[in-house]
């Protein structure tokens, strides 16, 4: 019954997509008339800004039974939506502006909503400084789907259910100032109010709850406290970049909060989880090496609210050292390969393990949740293109030797025309244990289809 509703919803979305695409044929037929072209150019010249966007229909479903999610939302699919994007950009005197807004008809949440992706003004101050203020998507660092010094908001739920990869990076309300020196570029971002990431929260994806000892669809957001005091709960991020002898060097700093509410110390007393303070200091480099490109990045995560007394060592996030290195090259014509090694080093693992053991003895947790002192992860990206790039096959694989789990992202994309792109793929999880990072999502494995028409 649920699948019938999904197919019906996607059928309506596909019909809407075809109705938008159909006028293009009429425009092509009339393109030979000079008066038509002149009329269109005259109309376009009246607009003081540029307009574009897309219409997208997307659907996806679990490939395994996931009782905890099915019982909560009454559906066995986690993606059924039609999305309309409107892009507006232009300039006025010395100020550039841009607006990106999505209208989403969501068949899972059974609602229509508007999502503001970008509302930005940018201008120059003097000859060396750019200022960009407003809602904007921010990113930096060298990792491929691995983030160490990029602490800007991430929408992991969109990423894991099959939305376009662009939606992994969420928008920030921030002021970004970039100063271009002769040798060094200084990039400073201030967000007046902290914005948390969007993590699996039980409404479309289940997760492992260590307090319950099993899968849960209980919304984390219902029991979490987000920093919301302006301007005390803001975020500050800094990047210094230079290029010397063909090598790109960057230094980073971040002063804010952990993206997820991982301080559970008050939950035991009936309180709410919270986002503890986090300071990150890091560096990266990127350079050509042999036939490809080599990159490395590291960061020290100082957890400001860490408490190693008693069971709090298990309930508050520990400080960590994180490191990655990668190499990307074209193995043969049209086949690109990207490899990465990633490491998380827990700085107080013994105390954390002892605390989880105490919680297990009290019947309130599992000692296995302490994990390994060194969490290791290997990734591979394979990309093969055909038909002059119009057809692209891709596989991104995460494999963790320490956690004994994996996450596979196969996909295929076909560009049928300059306007129409069709995509299909999957998010496949597995592991030896249902409490590991990827293993907890095994029953959330899903496949998806997307069709996007640009205008």
HEC states along 349-373? HHHHHHHHHHHHHCCCCCHHHHCCC
Structure confidence by residue, pLDDT tens digits, 51-87: 999 999 999 999 988 877 777 777 888 999 999 999 9
Flag the least confident range among 5-19, 48-62, 433-447.
5-19
Judged against a pLDDT cut of 60, whether residue 356 lies above it is answered with yes
Domains and CATH numbers, the chain: 2-454 (2.40.160.10)
The whole-angstrom separation of Cα 24 and Cα 258 is 47
List C-alpha distances in Å: 337 to 340, 376, 377. Answer: 10, 20, 17
The pLDDT of residue 139 is 97
Percent of all residues in the chain with a pLDDT value above 70, rounded to a whole number: 88
Beta bridge partners of 140: none
pLDDT reported for residue 221: 62
Instruction: Give yes or no for a contact between 79 and 58, defined as CB atoms under 8 angstroms apart.
Output: yes
Q: Distance between CA atoms of 106 and 103, rounded to whole angstroms?
A: 10
Q: How far is CA 100 from CA 117, 136, 454, in A?
A: 5, 9, 14
Q: Percent of the chain at pLDDT above 90?
A: 64
What tens digit of pLDDT does each residue of 390-423 get?
999 999 999 999 999 999 999 999 999 999 999 9
Residue 223 confidence (pLDDT):
65
Which parts of 138-234 are beta strand (E)? 171-180, 185-191, 207-209, 214-216, 224-225
**Is the bond into 231 cis (omega within 30 degrees of 0)?**
yes
pLDDT at residue 50 above 60? yes
Question: Is the pLDDT confidence value at 17 over 70?
Answer: no
Distance CA 383, CA 378 (A): 17
Burial of 442: CB neighbours in 10 Å, binned 0-12, 13-18, 19+: buried
């Amino acid at each position: 019954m649920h699948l019938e509703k999904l197919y019906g919803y996607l059928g309506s979305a596909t019909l809407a997509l075809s109705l938008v695409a159909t006028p293009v044929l009429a425009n092509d037929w009339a393109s030979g008339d000079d008066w038509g072209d002149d009329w269109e150019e005259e109309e376009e010249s009246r607009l003081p800004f540029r307009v574009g966007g897309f219409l997208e229909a997307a659907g996806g479903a679990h490939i395994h039974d996931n009782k905890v999610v099915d019982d909560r939302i009454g559906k066995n699919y986690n993606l059924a939506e039609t999305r309309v994007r409107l892009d507006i950009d232009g300039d006025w005197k010395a100020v550039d502006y841009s607006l990106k807004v999505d209208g989403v008809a969501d068949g899972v949440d059974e609602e229509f909503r508007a999502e503001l992706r970008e509302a930005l003004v940018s201008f120059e101050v003097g000859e060396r400084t750019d200022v960009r203020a407003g809602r904007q998507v921010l990113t930096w660092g060298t990792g491929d789907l691995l983030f160490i010094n990029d602490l800007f908001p991430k929408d992991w739920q969109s990423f894991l259910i099959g939305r376009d990869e662009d939606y992994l990076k969420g928008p920030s309300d921030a002021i970004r100032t970039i100063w271009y020196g002769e040798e060094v570029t200084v990039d400073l971002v201030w967000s007046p109010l902290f914005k948390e990431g969007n993590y699996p929260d039980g409404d479309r994806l289940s997760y492992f709850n260590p307090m319950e000892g099993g899968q849960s669809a209980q919304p984390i957001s219902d029991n979490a406290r987000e920093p919301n005091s302006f301007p005390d709960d803001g975020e500050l991020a800094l990047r210094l970049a230079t290029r010397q002898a063909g090598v790109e060097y960057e230094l980073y700093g971040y002063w804010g909060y952990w993206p997820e509410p991982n301080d559970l110390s008050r939950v035991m007393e009936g309180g709410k989880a919270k986002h503890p303070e986090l300071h990150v200091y890091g560096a990266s480099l990127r350079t050509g090496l042999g036939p490809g490109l080599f990159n490395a990045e590291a960061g020290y995560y100082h957890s400001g609210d860490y408490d190693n007394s008693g069971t709090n060592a298990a309930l508050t996030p520990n400080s960590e050292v994180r490191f990655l290195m990668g190499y990307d090259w074209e193995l043969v014509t049209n086949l690109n390969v990207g490899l990465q090694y990633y490491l998380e080093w827990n700085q107080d693992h013994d105390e954390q393990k002892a605390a989880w053991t105490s919680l297990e003895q009290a019947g309130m947790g599992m000692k296995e949740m302490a994990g390994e002192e060194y969490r290791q992860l290997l990734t591979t990206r394979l990309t093969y293109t055909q038909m002059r790039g119009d057809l692209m096959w891709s596989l991104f694989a995460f494999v963790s030797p320490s956690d004994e789990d994996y996450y596979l992202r196969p996909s295929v994309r076909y560009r049928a025309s300059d306007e129409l792109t069709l995509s299909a793929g999957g998010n496949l999880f597995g592991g030896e244990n249902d409490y590991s990072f990827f293993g907890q999502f095994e029953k959330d494995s899903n496949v998806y289809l997307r069709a996007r028409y640009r205008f």
